[in-house]
Structure 1
Amino acid sequence: MFYYNNFGGMDFIWWCIWGMLLFWIFIIPYDIPGQRRKKTGPFANIQMRLATGEIGPEEYHERKGLIEIDAIRHT
């Protein structure tokens, strides 16, 4: 038996389900387990702490110097 409105072999409800599934996978910004995230480095961390006022400029420069020395030592 031939159906005129079979939407490419699937009923309309199945197209809706596939559409919602694709929307959920690609559009909704949930954290996916195992997803790689951009890691912030030590410079970004101390810059953020300086911007929020947790540390002062003197402590920022001190820690920045320590990080630079550590980076030079490990290369």
Structure 2
Amino acid sequence: MYYENYHLGINIIWWALWAILLIWILGIPYNTSRRHKRHTASYILQKRYVSGDITKSEYYDKQKILIEDGELKKT
């Protein structure tokens, strides 16, 4: 009687859940903003300054170049 289309409804829900799961797994594998931040020139410059590879004056000189090139906003 009322159970004729029961399997159709379950099938649609089942496939919708699989589609959502697949989109979630493939669509959100990485935090893109964090990954992008690691490869910017300003981030690398900051890491070199903090680790002591460059002096304070070298840091500010290179930061000024980045600001002039438009890669870094002046703060």
Normalising by structure 1, report the TM-score.
Answer: 0.45
**More helix as a share of residues:** 2
TM-score, normalised to structure 2's length?
0.45
